[in-house]
Structure 1
């Protein structure tokens, strides 16, 4: 059972398919000079349906310094060269991934996937919710796209400091309250 858990942990950590995971571990054991068996593909495939692999995070000594950003991922469409050469035959499909990481350990602590129609600022309030409530968030650092009342309110609700530069076209908000 420990070997299966280890194989699935390596699969999750490195984002490998199962066959690559077994090959990677066989190579690793051969390089180490160990003659240990690696669970085969079928065993891993059957066991991963029922076995949950939890990868613990290293807790920081102080409050969490949370870094937030988003990026687009093209998942359907032609390659860049083909589009330049022949033009786009259809509209390209994109997804956005919004990531929150711990600034001290650089571990991903919160992830949200959205379509390209959802704005970045509307997703930020969902990211701190993924952090356990008993863990203190000291600050949330993000770029100017997150400079909205909703983002500042969500950050203030967790008792954190917002480190967000103002937008280029920023104006002062009417009233002091963030909607808390």
Structure 2
């Protein structure tokens, strides 16, 4: 439960309250850490207890597709569908249960909900789980996607353990690496990564990060570190002129030759960064 929801009386949240660190651009880095004064301690304590509440329900579609469809070929007929096995094994992984306890856990859920559901036994879960293929949700190959690109730093630790005991403790190396990530928000998958040294900027690493892409991209999202003409030229050459580039310019940005970036600067100056 959100902590703001436990504060009484209810407050009408504005954009300044929802994004206190981004509303005022001129003093964005000088905002103190947000603090909340709890006035209804009993309700706040109850909200903390509810974080450990386990609420599981079975939809009608799951009950309908629980049994395996009858097949017309020779051989034994399966009693449970792949969906039933997948749900049971998923709960086993989430709650870290052995197979027998997983069977009992699924029985208790069906009993509490009053559903006439036959639960697979532990041997069936073990046997079917080894050869079951989980069908993942795939995006439409012909549909343009939205691409998100970002980077983060990785610290490189010094020599420890066996090397330090054998050769002595040496001065720790003060260096780090930069990991560039390409994300598909529709599937939530990391499409590609690129590891570079700390001297390689985001604009320099972007062409290699997008080199193996064979899908159409209609929107590109990135932070202000990718604001530059080189990034715009790379995206236009790779995906064409129909791509929508959404990169926030810095607060001291000035108009240039890029018409799209100039439009962003004008919109921010007229309506503010949050409305943009």
- TM above 0.5, yes or no, is yes
Which of the pair has the greater relative contact order for Cα pairs under 8 Å at 6+ separation? Answer: 1
Deviation sequence 1:66-108 (CA, Å, 0-9, x none) = 0000001112238xxxxxxxxxx44422111100111111111
* 1:164 has 2:247 as partner: yes
Structure with bigger strand share is 1
Confirm or deny: 8 A CA contact 2:229 2:258 kept in the other structure. no
* 1:143 has 2:223 as partner: yes
Deviation sequence 1:30-88 (CA, Å, 0-9, x none) = 7353369x9xxxxxxxxxxxxxxxxx99334621100000001112238xxxxxxxxxx
Match of 2:146 in 1: 65
Normalising by structure 1, report the TM-score. 0.57
CA RMSD in angstroms comes to 3.6
Structure with bigger helix share is 2
Match of 2:204 in 1: 122
Shift of the 121–59 alpha-carbon distance from structure 1 to 2, 3 Å rule, reads same
* Higher gyration radius (CA): 2
Confirm or deny: 8 A CA contact 1:60 1:105 kept in the other structure. no
Match of 2:75 in 1: none
What is the distance in 1 between the residues matched to 2:247 and 2:254? 14
Confirm or deny: 8 A CA contact 1:142 1:163 kept in the other structure. yes
What is the distance in 1 between the residues matched to 2:127 and 2:186? 38
Shift of the 150–136 alpha-carbon distance from structure 1 to 2, 3 Å rule, reads same
Question: Please, which runs of 5 or more residues in structure 2 have no aligned partner?
Answer: 1-95, 100-121, 131-135, 160-170, 261-276
Displacement after TM superposition at 1:167 (Å): 1.9
Shift of the 35–64 alpha-carbon distance from structure 1 to 2, 3 Å rule, reads closer
Which segments of structure 1 move beyond 3 Å, counting only runs of 4 or more?
Answer: 174-177
Normalising by structure 2, report the TM-score. 0.38
Match of 2:195 in 1: 113
